[in-house]
Amino acid sequence: MLNLVRNMGLLSALLFSVRLAHGAEGRVFLDVNGNGVAEAAEPGIARVAVSDGVQVVDADAQGRFRLDTVDPDACVWISVPRDYAASGPFWRRAGSGGALDFGLAARPQAETFTFVQLTDTHVGRADQVTAFAKQLARLPHAFAFAVNTGDLVGGVDTVPPEKAQAQYDRYLSAAAAFEIPLFHVPGNHEHVAFNTPKPDTSHPFYGKGLYRRVFGPLYYSWAWAGVHCVALDGTSLPYQERLGTRQLAWLAADLKRVPVERPLLLFCHQSLPSLRDAKQVAALLKDRRVLGAFCGHLHRTFTTRLGEIPVYHSGAMSGAWWSGPNIDGTPQGFRVVRVKGDSLTTAYFGREGDTPISIVAPLATEVQVGEVAFEAVVLDFGREVALSAAFNGQPVALAHAERDELWSRWRGTLDTRVAFDGDRALSFTARQGEQTASRFEIRYLVENGRPQAYQAAAPATLALQVRGVDGASPVLFNGEPCGMIPAGTTNECVLTFPVDAARLAKLNRVTIRAGKLGRDGDRFSVGPVWLAYAGKKLHDLRYASFERHAVAGQDPVRAEKVLYFCLP
């Protein structure tokens, strides 16, 4: 497979300048013997949609189709219809030679089905995703398919083309472990070398070239039971989050062939509401029955809307790029979606254990004060499970609150005042019978005016990278002046401020203020910000380590930024 991918890339480079004289044509057929070859005795399948990313046509009564495609490098693909599976690749290169025949095998599909969304796998080692694929296969439920909504690889956008193939190879090795159909959506880190200085834009792998050679179309559709599924490409190069006019036109043509009452599922790496052409997307989907859109990209779990469409953002399988949980404290994990006719239920779970757990609320993005209501969800597959919780090592009461067919929700209240201020853990343990089935822990910043006695072993250094500053801006450390960000500081400059050991506490509060407030107030942006202590770079656990923080002096709500650093 891996050598085939390399050979396809070289062949495509040779064909790139040759135009197709007679378009692209072929046949969609029932692959009775499963050999992937269209034979005379095997009947054609009518009304299957075929596309090259611009045109969408229907196969005729004999399964034959023709596209006016002149680019040999174009992908031609079929929209696999309900109750079928592709017996070979569902896409082919237009100039790959010969007729473009696509075989289908009958695969009856239940009207009620469950699928898995995983996202932002950022595969550095194949074993990490392979382990999840094996764990998924062990769970006591038959999942219909899985969709990876992008950032499959570690990040080929920052490497030259000749080094990109290895990352794709690692991902392909991991993906081979899945025992259910696995669909793919491109993320922003799949695009080769576009974040490198002076890239070779003529290389066939550059930008989206390698992705297309490995996975085929950047956007496409398929049917599952009574639902029409659409995969979208939210990246426009040079980098902008948009579909673009060509993809929007394709989407309109694709939907034209779908009855307006048929339920839709959408998949896109980037958040649909944040796309620059989100209004155009919403207009195309108006009056459609969209059950939900599923996105990744942000390494957070939350739900928003595009008009009336619920948009489910899922935490990353890789969490904080395989170094810990997601930015919001949710675990490295996956989303489960249960579809019944024209409705769905969904929840996000950690990737480990026989009864995976996740937090619903509160997330780790806010400082916790006083009494806090919390909610957790357990993927127990309808079986009896006992869930216990502890905060700062002390038991916390919780109760079963709701039951979905596949998971249960649990709620309780914890008093954060029982703990000293700082970085504190809320942990969960799920048991079935006498066996511990899974565990989960989320860490919160707690501040109730209850400092812990602490003596620092060494001084520290506060560091921040300036991204833009109008005027001089003061920096305070635990309420006392620490230094100034000078007006005119060069962008990308890293400023450091020494902090004596005597000024350090267990939980330290850093405040950065706009120097000038009011209508003409100063603005600035900094990030990342960290505290170097005892050989470690400490970050505010509410944010990603690379987070940028903006302050606007003209807005009282945004006139200062407060960050917390908890010492070990």
- Give the pLDDT confidence of 340-399 residue by residue, as tens digits: 999 999 999 999 999 999 999 999 999 999 999 999 999 999 999 999 999 999 999 999
Is the residue at 452 inside a domain? no
Q: Are residues 314 and 440 in the same domain?
A: no
Is the residue at 455 inside a domain? no
Distance from C-alpha of 142 to C-alpha of 181, rounded to nearest angstrom = 12
Q: Domain span at residue 287?
A: 112-350
Q: Which residues contact 30 (CB under 8 A, 6 or more apart)?
A: 42, 43, 44, 45, 103, 104, 105, 106
> Which of 249 and 489 is assigned the larger pLDDT?
249
- CATH at 21: 2.60.40.10
Q: Does residue 299 surpass a pLDDT of 80?
A: yes
Is the residue at 435 inside a domain? yes
Q: Does residue 212 surpass a pLDDT of 90?
A: yes
Q: Does residue 238 surpass a pLDDT of 50?
A: yes
Q: CA triplet 9, 12, 15: central angle to 5 degrees?
A: 160
Question: What is the pLDDT, as a whole number, of residue 160?
Answer: 94
Q: Are residues 283 and 219 in the same domain?
A: yes
Tokens 């036109």 correspond to what residue? 249
Is the residue at 80 inside a domain? yes
For 435-448, b/e burial (b = at least 16 CB within 10 A) is: eebbebbbbbbbbb
The strand pairing partners of 153, in sequence order, are 123
Q: What is the mean pLDDT of residues 56-64?
A: 98
Q: Are residues 558 and 533 in the same domain?
A: yes
Question: What is the pLDDT, as a whole number, of residue 407?
Answer: 98
Question: What is the pLDDT, as a whole number, of residue 270?
Answer: 98
Q: Are residues 420 and 469 in the same domain?
A: no
Tokens of 59: 């196969």
Distance from C-alpha of 446 to C-alpha of 459, rounded to nearest angstrom = 24
What pLDDT digit, counting tens, does each position of 146-182 carry? 999 999 999 999 999 999 999 999 999 999 999 999 9
Q: Are residues 85 and 131 in the same domain?
A: no
Q: Are residues 171 and 99 in the same domain?
A: no
Taking a C-beta distance cutoff of 8 angstroms, is the pair 389, 368 a contact? no
> Which of 552 and 305 is assigned the larger pLDDT?
305
Question: What is the pLDDT, as a whole number, of residue 491?
Answer: 87
Is the residue at 15 inside a domain? yes
Give the total number of structural domains in the chain: 4
Q: Are residues 96 and 157 in the same domain?
A: no
Q: What is the mean pLDDT of residues 410-419?
A: 97
Query: End of a domain among 350, 368, 393?
Result: 350
Q: Are residues 344 and 368 in the same domain?
A: no
- pLDDT confidence bin for 21, thresholds 50/70/90: low
Is the residue at 451 inside a domain? no
What pLDDT digit, counting tens, does each position of 516-558 carry? 887 777 888 999 999 999 999 999 999 999 999 988 878 887 8
Q: Does residue 55 surpass a pLDDT of 70?
A: yes
Is the residue at 13 inside a domain? yes
Can you list the alpha helix ranges (DSSP code H) found in 288-396?
none
- pLDDT confidence bin for 3, thresholds 50/70/90: very low
Residues of the chain with pLDDT > 70, as a percent, come to: 96
* Mean predicted lDDT score pLDDT of the chain: 94
Pairing mode of beta strands 371-378, 357-361: antiparallel
Q: What is the mean pLDDT of residues 475-480?
A: 97
Question: What is the pLDDT, as a whole number, of residue 93?
Answer: 95
Q: Are residues 252 and 388 in the same domain?
A: no
Q: Are residues 221 and 317 in the same domain?
A: yes
Residues of the chain with pLDDT > 90, as a percent, come to: 86
Q: Are residues 180 and 273 in the same domain?
A: yes
Question: What is the pLDDT, as a whole number, of residue 22?
Answer: 63
Tally of CB atoms within 10 A around 88: 16
- pLDDT confidence bin for 121, thresholds 50/70/90: very high
- pLDDT confidence bin for 470, thresholds 50/70/90: confident
Query: End of a domain among 392, 422, 446?
Result: 446
Q: Are residues 369 and 477 in the same domain?
A: no
C-alpha distances (whole Å) from 404 to each of 315, 336, 337, 368 are 21, 12, 11, 29
- CATH at 525: 2.60.60
- CATH at 185: 3.60.21.10
Is the residue at 453 inside a domain? no
Query: End of a domain among 316, 350, 384?
Result: 350
- pLDDT confidence bin for 97, thresholds 50/70/90: confident
